[in-house]
Amino acid sequence: MYLFLLIKILFVVYCFYSYVSKLRKFSDHDPKGPSVLPVLGNLHQLGKSPHITLMNMTKTYGDVFKFWMGDVSIKFKTQHLQSLAITIKTLVSARDERWYHNRKLVANSFTKTKLRSTVAVMEKQSELFISMMSQFQKSGEPFSPMKYCKKYALNIIFSIVFADEIPYEEGVDEGRLGMLVGWIDQIFKVGGAGSLFDYITIIQPLFYGFKKFVIGTEMDPVYNFVAKIYDEHFETLDRNNPRDLLDVLIIDSEGKDRHGVIAVSIDFLLAGTDTSATTIEWFLLFMANNPDVQEKIGKELKEVVGVNGNVTLANRNNTPYLVAAIKETLRVRPVGPFGLPRQTRESILLNDQVFIPKGAQILINFYGLAHSEKHWSEPEKFQPERFMGASNEEKHADFYLPFSAGPRNCVGMNLANDELYLAISNIMSNFVVSSFDGKPIYDVEEYGLTIKPQPFLLKLDKRI
């Protein structure tokens, strides 16, 4: 009886403290934000599409505003990036010296080892991708692109990081691919949705302890998968002839940072697979829904490489409309709507108007930036022409940021752009894609750490 009463009293005190702390002001220039509730903060306002909800809030609270996610105060930003001194143990979450070291090591390794010639790897995987699609085109069967796009992107990462690949003879629902796709999708789904336990500090120790030691986390199977590859690489390592990025990382760590090397490898596996694969999916959807754009791309490619010609990276400068269409896909559906959270290392006054204290968490709404009517004419319309010409490129440079910006932008940005171009250009050179049932494909995204299209089916016709 007394214990129950004590718990009730403590909970009331906690709610009161939670509410008062959320009302605390740091300065007269604090960012505005919606009214808060005790404990929950503003979590109840997010809805099923947080990137759109938060974009719409800028109309009321401005381009920089405060939003409480449970006990965590987030400053959302939907404007041109200022010069912020920010930092947030791997390439994704490491801090300061460790991050700089990992970043430099990975960037240098692309040049130092050539990573088994990444261009040759991408060209090979592109050819295999087209060959697989040709089977659907010849049979007339509906083509569901999701898992095949993932196989293409995953094999490129496998080749670069692990000197391995998943054979195209292996079905997309079986073997390593079947396992990995399921695991990766679950990680991105859970990571994007979050839970109350992620934001309410009083119950976090119990929740995370139970999850870690009793039921396990979504990351466990992927960690164990990569750990097995690490151990095999360590046993067969030739320090004078690194086979792949994993060997480079093991050599650099002198074999003393097994966990850290595995974590960096997982970064590549997750980010490098899901983002590129999803972008290809979105591109195919937009082509099916915009046949006029697709026809222009087909004509451009025909002039450059002929009918069903093989497209290489050397052709990129001669296919400006295709490049613009890829950029427009990344604008209309930026795969990572928020990117990753950052934390201010010092207090800052933005534009002499908005104060952000040291230690504040910041999320940039890249989706909102790409859909702002202040910066884009008819932002919801798929219009590659907005990226045609040097003047347009310069005009949109500050608001087109699909790979983030600054020193913590995507380390694999150039790799991603190359693999997107090779896959998409050769698909467009060989096929005309359309909705399998003849109706426009539903293009409202499914929210997660990445925003994905709903599953859809395509009809593939040979381009002539």
Q: Are residues 179 and 246 in the same domain?
A: yes
Boundary residue ending a domain (344, 370, 396): 370
**Mean of the pLDDT values across residues 333-361?**
82
Residue 145 has pLDDT above 90, yes or no: yes
Q: What does the pLDDT look like over 157-177, one tens digit per residue?
A: 998 889 888 887 777 777 888
pLDDT digits (tens, 9 = 90+) for 430-461: 999 999 999 999 999 988 778 899 999 999 99
Could you tell me where the DSSP H helices lie in 23-66? 50-61
Same domain, 58 and 184: no
Contacts of 450 (CB under 8 A, 6+ apart): 188, 192, 274, 275, 278, 335, 336
Is 296 within 8 Å of 383 (Cβ atoms)? no
156-to-201, 249, 282, 397, 455 alpha-carbon distances in Å: 40, 18, 19, 28, 23
Q: Are both 293 and 385 inside the same structural domain? A: yes
Domain that holds residue 6: 1-78+336-370
CATH classification at residue 51:
3.30.43.20
Helical segments of 333-446, H only = 366-370, 390-396, 413-430
Query: According to the model, what pLDDT value does residue 47 have?
Result: 83
CATH number at residue 154: 1.10.630.10
132 and 281 together in one domain: yes
Tell which of 370, 391, 414 closes a domain.
370
Do 448 and 347 sit in the same domain of this protein? no
CB contact set of 327 (below 8 Å; sequence gap of 6+): 384, 387, 400
* Domain end call among 327, 355, 370: 370
Both 262 and 247 in a single domain?
yes
Nearest-CA neighbor of 382 among 300, 299, 284? 284
Average pLDDT over residues 196-223: 68
Are 312 and 427 found together in one domain? yes
Question: What interhelical angle do 220-235 and 245-253 show, nearest 10?
Answer: 80
- The model carries a pTM of 0.86
Model pLDDT for residues 399-442, shown as the tens digit of each residue = 888 787 666 667 677 888 999 999 999 999 999 999 999 999 99
Domain count, the chain: 2
- pLDDT tens track for 212-237: 655 557 788 889 999 999 999 999 99
CA angle 130, 382, 131 (to 5 degrees): 5
410 annotated binding-site participant: yes
pLDDT class of 328 with cuts at 50, 70, 90: very high
Same domain, 284 and 353: no
For 15, residues 6+ apart whose C-beta sits below 8 A from its C-beta are 38, 39
Highest mean pLDDT among 78-87, 210-219, 318-327: 318-327
Residues 359, 401 within the same domain = no
Q: Which distant-in-sequence residues (6+ apart) come within 8 Å of 457 by Cβ?
A: 142, 143, 144, 435, 436, 437
Running DSSP on this structure, what letter comes out for residue 315? G
Residues 344, 329 share a domain: no
% of the chain exceeding 90 in pLDDT: 34
- Shared domain check, 307 and 415: yes
DSSP assignment of 92-155 equals TT--HHHHHHHHHHHHHHHHHSGGGTHHHHHHHHHHHHHHHHHHHHHHT--B--HHHHHHHHHH
Tell whether 411 and 436 lie within a shared domain: yes
